[in-house]
Amino acid sequence: MKALILALLLSLPATEFVMAATLERVRETGELRLGFRDDAKPYSYRNAEGQPAGYIVDLCREVTEQLGAAIGAKVNPRYVPVPSAARFEALRQGKIDILCDPASVTMERRTIVDFSIPTFLDGTSVLFRRDHPIQTFEDLSGRRVGVLKGTTTADNLFNGMRLVKADAKVTQVTDHRQGLDLLMADKIDAYFGDRAILASLLYEGGLPGLELGRRYFSYETYALGLPHGDDAFRLQVDRALAELYRSGKVRTLLSKTFGSPPHDAMLDALIAIHSFPER
């Protein structure tokens, strides 16, 4: 009998085997493993009580609840901290089921992981010392710059510098706090990152003499990272997100994290476009 079952499994396409394994494991264990970051506030971080928090973490909680209803079983979130540099590898190795952080969708990343429908729009900006203002890539010549290693922000920075032939000295760090520490210690002149993350770090206080640039150096689409080839699981995640968008509950989650700022036209369009009907 075991040999027969093995033969049947081996005869299935690889994607069908993965799809069955993921949903069955969630049903059997009653948990969904959510990968989150410590340093990506306001999207994914630990709050003052040490608990996972942030807009994208909240989205994943909602997805967990709706997934349980869809499969007819109680599903609890299990939070797994993942560093920025190893987050996609954690998905590939099956250590997490969903990556709940500001992951930018790129074609290269889509060769190794899948993504949900979009969750947010942001882009690269720069935090700089007021005595060393940065407004363009050309301003980086002769400057010391920091950026988070292994991110699309780093790629955008190096590409922009290459295009204008800027000869900045770049230090790649492993987390945002390290970058801010270097900036405050005057070991770098500017730090590049996702604008909302930089704004959150700046407005927490305790960072005198720093200024957040107004310019976006890139625009990026975030989505939840998912295991590659797991079509059934991805469909359930997309179904949950689309329901959040259609119902308007996503606005409550946005207000919880960002307060009640004026509506952003691009974000409004993203939500409207991806409020797919169930039927």
Question: Same domain, yes or no, for 67 and 197?
Answer: no
Residue 5 domain-assigned (yes or no): no
Q: What is the pTM of this model?
A: 0.83
What would the pLDDT profile of 174-223 be if each residue is shown by its tens digit?
999 899 999 999 999 999 999 999 988 888 766 788 999 988 999 999 99
Residue 279 domain-assigned (yes or no): no
Number of domains forming the structure of the chain = 2
- Note the pLDDT of residue 204: 75
Question: Same domain, yes or no, for 48 and 93?
Answer: yes
Question: Same domain, yes or no, for 159 and 231?
Answer: no
Sheet of 190-194, strands arranged across? 169-173, 144-148, 190-194, 124-129, 210-212
Question: Same domain, yes or no, for 150 and 250?
Answer: no
When the pLDDT of each residue in the chain is averaged and rounded to a whole number, the result is: 89
Question: Same domain, yes or no, for 103 and 133?
Answer: no
Task: Decide which of 182, 212, 242 is a domain's last residue.
Answer: 212
- Note the pLDDT of residue 12: 41
- Note the pLDDT of residue 22: 84
**Residue 85 is encoded by which pair of tokens?**
């540099």
Supply the range of the domain harboring residue 199: 124-212
Low-confidence ranges of the chain (pLDDT < 70): 1-20, 205-206, 261-263
- Note the pLDDT of residue 261: 59
Residue 61 domain-assigned (yes or no): yes
Question: Same domain, yes or no, for 226 and 112?
Answer: yes
Give the integer Cα–Cα distance in Å for 187 and 35. Answer: 32
Residue 4 domain-assigned (yes or no): no
Residue 131, domain CATH = 3.40.190.10
Question: Same domain, yes or no, for 115 and 128?
Answer: no
CB 202 within 8 A of CB 177: no
Give the integer Cα–Cα distance in Å for 251 and 268. Answer: 10
Question: Same domain, yes or no, for 117 and 26?
Answer: yes
